[in-house]
């Protein structure tokens, strides 16, 4: 059975981008693959969360993983920092990761532009830690969003480089995996790019958002004054909203509003109301379970402990092998 590894940074509540870009695939995969799904709290340290926020954010993701349908009896759910072997592998891989290739990473350049006062080494070596997460369990499939494809390519580079350097065919190549034809990218409500917490709450529809909060956010989403010619190309902010509708609404609903747009008859108020209601319906099954699971502290502790033990078992074997391959020996 092939191994799947993927994780989500614990920087707050999960949103539609996390759900459709990753978690829906997780739920399907757990029945077909050997799955490790982790909460990436070490990755979150690049943005310097407070100790209180760090723990609460991890709890949010654990609860929402469970509420979204990930079964701890089928998949291994664990907190990244509970498996310290990943830090050791991260160190070894860093020794063979070069400054030039890390600086060329698109995500690093984006982060530098967005936060020039917080260009820390963790941001630079972020792809190396991601590679360690994947290689630690010798995964061959990684359900990532489109924006992570370059990082996954770097994972293959680091794994293959290790194999060549030590003349040992140890790490397999990991490839992006989704059940659809293309990797999913969920746009945000700000009309600019993907949905993400770093762009602010108004940009995200969280899985735990109440219906009224969803409606308010969608009604405030960026639009323009409307089409002026039939069948004209949609500007980015409008295409983003149609892309969201494609994910949460029926094909008939999407086709209806697309036709209205092409005929210059669309009313954005009606369009947004429909989009908001479809988002409410799409998130309801998860939202209703979040409060119930969050209240059961013993169950959460049991899931995290069980996941850590299973993940460590796999991680210890890899680190033992890697240390031997590199040449570390006991006297």
| Nearest CA-CA partner of 257 in 23, 243, 130 | 243
DSSP structure string for 221-263: S---S--SSTTPPPPHHHHHHHHHHHHHS-HHHHHHHHHHHHT
Q: Is residue 211 packed enough to be buried (19+ CB in 10 Å), middle (13-18) or exposed (0-12)?
A: middle
CA–centroid distance for 149 within its chain? 12
Which residues neighbour 104 within 8 Å (Cβ) at sequence distance 6 or greater?
none
Task: Collect all residues with Cβ–Cβ distance below 8 Å to 146 and sequence separation of at least 6.
Answer: 182, 183, 184, 185
The residue from 13, 111, 138, 141 that is catalytic is 111
138 labelled catalytic: no
Catalytic residue selected from 74, 146, 185, 194: 194
From CA 269, how far away is CA 257, in angstroms rounded?
12
Whether 194 is catalytic: yes
Side-chain half-sphere exposure of 82, counting CA atoms within 13 A = 21
Angle between helix 268-294 and 297-326 (nearest 10): 90
Tell me how many helices (H) and strands (E) the chain has.
14, 5
Run of H or E residues at 38: strand 34-40
Residue 298 DSSP symbol? H
Which of the residues 24, 197, 217, 272 is marked catalytic?
A: 197
Active site residues: 111, 194, 197
């Amino acid at each position: 059975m092939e191994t799947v590894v993927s994780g989500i940074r614990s920087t707050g509540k999960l949103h539609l981008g996390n759900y459709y870009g990753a978690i829906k695939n997780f739920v399907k995969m757990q029945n077909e693959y050997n799955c490790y799904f982790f909460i990436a709290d070490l990755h979150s340290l690049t943005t310097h969360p407070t100790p209180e926020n760090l723990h609460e954010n991890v709890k949010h993701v654990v609860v929402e993983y469970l509420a979204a349908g990930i079964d701890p009896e089928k998949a291994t759910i664990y907190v990244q920092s509970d498996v310290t072997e990943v830090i050791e592998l991260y160190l070894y891989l860093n020794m063979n990761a070069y400054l030039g290739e890390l600086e060329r990473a698109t995500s690093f350049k984006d982060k530098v532009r967005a936060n020039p006062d917080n260009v820390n080494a963790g941001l630079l070596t972020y792809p190396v830690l991601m590679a360690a997460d994947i290689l630690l369990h010798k995964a061959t499939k990684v359900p990532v969003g489109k924006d992570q494809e370059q990082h996954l390519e770097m994972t293959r580079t680091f794994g293959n480089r290790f194999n060549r350097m030590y003349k040992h065919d140890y790490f397999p190549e990991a490839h992006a995996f989704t059940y659809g034809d293309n990797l999913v990218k969920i746009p945000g409500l700000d009309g600019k790019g993907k949905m993400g917490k770093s762009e602010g709450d108004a940009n995200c529809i969280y899985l735990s958002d109440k219906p009224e909060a969803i409606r308010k956010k969608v009604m405030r989403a960026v639009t323009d004054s409307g089409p002026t010619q039939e069948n004209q190309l949609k500007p980015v902010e409008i295409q983003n909203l149609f892309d969201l509708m494609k994910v949460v609404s029926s094909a008939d609903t999407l086709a209806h509003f697309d036709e209205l747009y092409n005929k210059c008859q669309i009313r954005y108020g009606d369009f947004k109301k429909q989009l908001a209601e479809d988002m409410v319906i799409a998130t309801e099954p998860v939202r209703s379970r979040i409060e119930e699971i969050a209240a059961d502290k013993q169950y959460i502790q049991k899931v995290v402990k069980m996941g850590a033990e299973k993940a460590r078992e796999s991680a210890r074997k890899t680190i033992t092998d890697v240390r031997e391959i590199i040449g570390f020996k006991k006297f």
